[in-house]
């Protein structure tokens, strides 16, 4: 596994790559500094990942086509796949996602699956909100609101 640090507008992201797929993204913080990461030689997959993130954060694209490797239960994977279908600039509630995956009463479990998402931004858990407000976020403080506002301002039809 290799890691790279991507400097996003919402803080540095540590991106873990294995077998030409993103397997994790962590928000780099002072409390959790990066230790012992492999030296990463940029290959074509890493270059493409960086290019797509650059385009996303600069508002040049509505979608991220970055390959990911989801690691979780089948329920979690179903939730995460559902999140990836939410269009940029839109949000869904936990109940909406539960209904979409055929488990209408499992909205709390949807929240738990969002909290266990190891690939934020690419698997857009930030697009899931509570019925009455923006709730639940394990990333950098303020990042969820920033991402939602950024996507709202930059959404367009491709």
**How many angstroms separate the Cα of 55 from the Cα of each of 48, 64, 65, 118, 157?**
10, 9, 11, 21, 15
- The pTM (predicted TM-score) of the whole model is 0.86
**pLDDT of the chain along its 158 residues, tens only?**
889 999 999 999 999 999 999 999 998 865 444 444 444 556 889 999 999 999 999 999 878 889 999 999 999 999 999 999 999 999 999 999 999 999 999 999 999 999 999 999 999 999 999 887 766 666 666 888 999 999 999 876 54
Residue-wise pLDDT tens digits, 33-42: 444 444 455 6
Task: Count how many residues are written for the chain.
Answer: 158
What are the extents of the domains in the chain? Answer: 2-57, 74-154
Catalytic residue chosen out of the listed positions 125, 128, 143, 148: 125
- For domain 74-154, give the CATH number: 1.10.10.10
3-state SS assignment for residue 7: strand
Instruction: Annotate 17-52 with DSSP letters as a single string.
Output: EETTEEEEEEE-BTTB---SPPP----HHHHHHHHH
> What integer pLDDT is reported at residue 135 of this predicted model?
65
114 catalytic? Reply is no
Using CA atoms of 102, 103, 108, 114 in order, give the dihedral in degrees to the nearest 10.
-30
Quote the CA–CA distance of 23 and 117 in Å, as a whole number.
Answer: 10
């Amino acid at each position: 596994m290799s890691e790279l640090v991507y400097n996003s507008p919402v803080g540095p992201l540590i991106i873990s790559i294995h077998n030409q797929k993103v397997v994790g993204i962590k928000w780099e913080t002072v409390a959790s500094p990066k230790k012992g990461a492999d030296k990463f030689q940029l290959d074509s997959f890493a270059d493409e990942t960086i290019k797509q993130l650059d385009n996303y954060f600069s508002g040049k694209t509505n979608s991220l086509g970055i390959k990911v490797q989801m690691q979780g239960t089948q329920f979690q994977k179903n939730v995460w796949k559902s999140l990836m279908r939410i269009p940029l600039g839109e949000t869904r509630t936990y109940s909406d996602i539960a209904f979409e995956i055929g488990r209408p009463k499992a909205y709390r479990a949807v929240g738990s699956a969002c909290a266990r998402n190891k690939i934020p931004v690419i698997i857009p858990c930030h697009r899931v909100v509570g019925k009455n407000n923006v709730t639940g976020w394990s990333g950098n403080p303020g990042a969820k609101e920033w991402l939602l506002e950024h996507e709202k301002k930059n959404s367009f039809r491709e």
